[in-house]
Amino acid sequence: MSYGKWLRTACFSVLALVSLYAPGFSRAVAQSAPPSGVPVSPPPPGSAEARLDAHLQGWQKAMEGITNIFVTVTLKRSDPAATGVFKSDKEYKGELLCMKPNYARMRLVYVGDKTGQDYEAFICTGKEIYAYSGLDRTITEWKLPDPARQPNASTDNLMIDFLSGLKAENLKKRFQITLFNEDQYYIYLDIKPLLAKDKEEFKQLRLALYGPRTGSLAYLPAQAYIVKANDTIEQWSLANHKINIPGIDPQKVFRFEDVPGFTRRQAPQSPPPARPGPSAPSPSPLAPGGAGLPPTIRPTP
């Protein structure tokens, strides 16, 4: 995978996670799906579609009450197309802090590296994303649209569109969303892109949210399983949720930080197309609070 493609998919993953916490961000994406012109009747009470609508509304409402959120992160990356010595999974651990309207800060360290050099870090200032690569010793800047000049902008890059915020009704216009399963602790959403520009970023997202009866954790994300356009797999496990932390100054916490010896550069404008690959492997279960996630988090082939 080229550096440009790595950066694009890595930034998408970071901002997709930001979007999990912010369906109620202030700016909606314009023209997210072509209008059908046909009114849609409400689903019958108690149907899977009605339960999905109720969960999406509950998710949106829960997120509207959140100013900021902090989680610890475990990320497992798999590349089914890799062979030989390159065929291995890489596991990272780190922390993620998100704050409305569109701030984020994350650092991920490869657990197999004892030197401390194999890490990735991301800072979203609200105007730019800065991607840090410890191995490459680079800082890559990714410009975001100016909401003052483009209040209804819709870009051709999903990671930026996610930052715009998609409410429940817009999510269903833009993505095929299925309530895959629900149990005592979790609801499982299966999300597939409908638009061509989104299909360039990912094929499928299986998202586990804490269920509505889990108290303060209700509708917070527990795990995300992302099948990228090039068939690489990312499994995100999120734990130790803390919301509405007081005293966070976004101008101090989410500002650009230089690293001595690192080269600063602009992100590539036209990343190469994704390459095809085989089917995804089965993920490992997550065990938040000792409850554990069943293997149904895995997307179907």
Confidence of residue 155 (pLDDT cuts 50, 70, 90): very low
Q: C-alpha angle 269/107/272, rounded to 5°?
A: 20
Q: In this model, does residue 188 exceed pLDDT 60?
A: yes
What are the residues whose beta carbons fall under 8 Å from the beta carbon of 169, sequence distance 6 or more? none
User: Which amino acid is residue 180, in one-letter code?
Assistant: F
Residue corresponding to tokens 């409410």: 167
Q: In this model, does residue 186 exceed pLDDT 60?
A: yes
What percentage of the chain carries pLDDT values higher than 70? Answer: 64
Quote the pLDDT of residue 19: 56
Q: Taking a C-beta distance cutoff of 8 angstroms, is the pair 16, 245 a contact?
A: no
Pairing of strands 138-143, 263-266: parallel
What are the residues whose beta carbons fall under 8 Å from the beta carbon of 276, sequence distance 6 or more? 230, 231
Q: In this model, does residue 275 exceed pLDDT 50?
A: no
What is the pLDDT averaged over residues 33-62?
70
Which residue, 54, 77, 74, 69, is CA-closest to 20? 69
Q: What is the DSSP letter of 25?
A: -
Q: In this model, does residue 290 exceed pLDDT 60?
A: no
pLDDT tens, position by position, 89-107: 889 999 988 888 778 899 9
Which residues are 207's β-sheet partners? 189, 224
CB burial class (10 A; 0-12, 13-18, 19+) of residue 61? middle
Distance CA 269, CA 288 (A): 39
Domains present along the chain, CATH in parentheses? 3-28+48-278 (2.50.20.10)
Residue corresponding to tokens 């194999």: 118
Which residue, 153, 135, 132, 134, is CA-closest to 144? 153
Q: In this model, does residue 268 exceed pLDDT 90?
A: no
Which residue, 224, 235, 280, is CA-closest to 90? 235
Residues in the chain: 301
Which residue, 297, 97, 140, 81, is CA-closest to 205? 297
User: Which amino acid is residue 50, in one-letter code?
Assistant: A
Q: Which of 3-17, 42-56, 259-273 has the highest mean pLDDT?
A: 42-56
Mean pLDDT of the chain: 73
Which residue, 181, 157, 177, 161, is CA-closest to 169? 177
Quote the pLDDT of residue 28: 27
